């Protein structure tokens, strides 16, 4: 990989600037912390970090996901072109140091009704992450935490920002596994949801009687320690301002609670 070319790409790639600010800092939010098990909403992604994940990895991964999403939105401004948007999102990751392990695979489609989408997402996570029980547990806890939140909470508002005024939306649910050497792997599930009317909420649809189609596929991206060290500072520098309004960490639900 040509390091100079990657740095030029990071510095020059066009990024979307969402309209308005959510001013997430107005509400006291848990910060990303060193080595604690955490979850965070990163624009329209949900990413989990198991216990032991270094803070530098959390910060770098969060910045990379913002860069990839903002660049994808700039390249594919049509909010309803979710397949094109997800492909562009993947391309940005691979252009900036990440390596995709295996093919993303074909999209799997199923019909859903608004009130069942969250449960469907949990079922998909169980299928895709089933062989990794620790990853399944933390992602499930994160989804349950979001489900327990008020629909007007900043986490839900942030997650839904891209979906407003659209009938389709793309998003990811991912678990970040840090390597002992300082790299990272994202075990991610791409989701696309297409509905017959404008989406008012992605995770907890409010048009509960309206049918929609949900597409999903699993994919794994890896970032070597060298790539994180070499390109991480440039990525974080490019989106430093955006991170203040685009990453909201939150506490995980107690898996023992109902």
Q: Domain containing 211 — which CATH number?
A: 3.40.198
* Whole-number CA gyration radius for the chain: 17
* Domain count of the fold of the chain: 1
Sign for the pseudo-dihedral over CA of 91, 94, 98, 104: positive
Do residues 142 and 252 make contact, with C-beta atoms less than 8 angstroms apart? yes
Q: Identify the residue with better confidence: 95 or 23.
A: 95
Task: Using pLDDT thresholds of 50, 70 and 90, give the confidence band for residue 208.
Answer: very low
Q: What is the helix (H) or strand (E) element at residue 175, kind and residue range?
A: strand 168-178
Q: Which domain holds residue 174?
A: 37-247
Residue at 70 is within a domain: yes
Identify the CA nearest to 225 among candidates 183, 186, 179.
183
Q: Please compute the mean of the pLDDT values over residues 51-56 and round it to a whole number.
A: 93
pLDDT at 22 over 90: no
- pLDDT tens, residue by residue, 126-173: 888 777 788 888 998 998 888 788 777 878 878 877 777 678 888 899
Bridging pattern class, strands 168-178 and 45-49:
parallel
Q: Copy the structure tokens of residue 94.
A: 């691979």
pLDDT at 201 over 70: no
Do residues 7 and 232 make contact, with C-beta atoms less than 8 angstroms apart? no
Taking the model in full, what pTM does it have?
0.90
Q: Identify the residue with better confidence: 208 or 179.
A: 179
Residue at 21 is within a domain: no
Q: What is the DSSP letter of 179?
A: -
């Amino acid at each position: 990989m040509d390091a100079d070319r990657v740095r030029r790409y990071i510095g020059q790639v066009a990024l979307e600037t969402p309209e308005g600010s959510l001013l997430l800092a107005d509400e006291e939010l848990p910060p990303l912390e060193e080595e604690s098990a955490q979850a965070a909403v990163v624009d329209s992604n949900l990413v989990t970090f198991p216990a032991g994940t270094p803070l530098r990895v959390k910060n770098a991964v969060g910045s990379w996901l913002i860069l990839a999403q903002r660049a994808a939105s700039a390249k594919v401004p049509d909010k309803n072109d979710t397949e094109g948007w997800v492909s562009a999102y993947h391309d940005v990751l691979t252009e900036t140091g990440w390596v995709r392990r295996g093919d993303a695979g074909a999209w799997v489609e199923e019909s859903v009704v608004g009130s069942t989408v969250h449960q469907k997402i949990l079922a998909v996570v169980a299928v895709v992450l089933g062989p990794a029980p620790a990853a399944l547990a933390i992602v499930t806890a994160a989804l349950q935490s979001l489900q327990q939140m008020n629909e007007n909470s900043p986490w839900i508002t942030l997650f839904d920002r891209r979906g407003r005024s659209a009938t389709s939306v793309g998003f990811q649910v991912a678990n970040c596994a840090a390597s002992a050497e300082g790299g990272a792997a994202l075990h991610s599930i791409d989701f696309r949801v297409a509905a017959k009317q404008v989406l008012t909420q992605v995770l907890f649809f409010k048009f509960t009687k309206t049918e929609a189609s949900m597409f999903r596929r699993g994919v794994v991206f890896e970032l070597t320690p060298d790539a994180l060290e070499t390109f991480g500072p440039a990525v974080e520098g490019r989106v430093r301002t955006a991170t203040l309004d685009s990453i909201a960490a939150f506490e995980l639900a107690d898996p023992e609670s109902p």
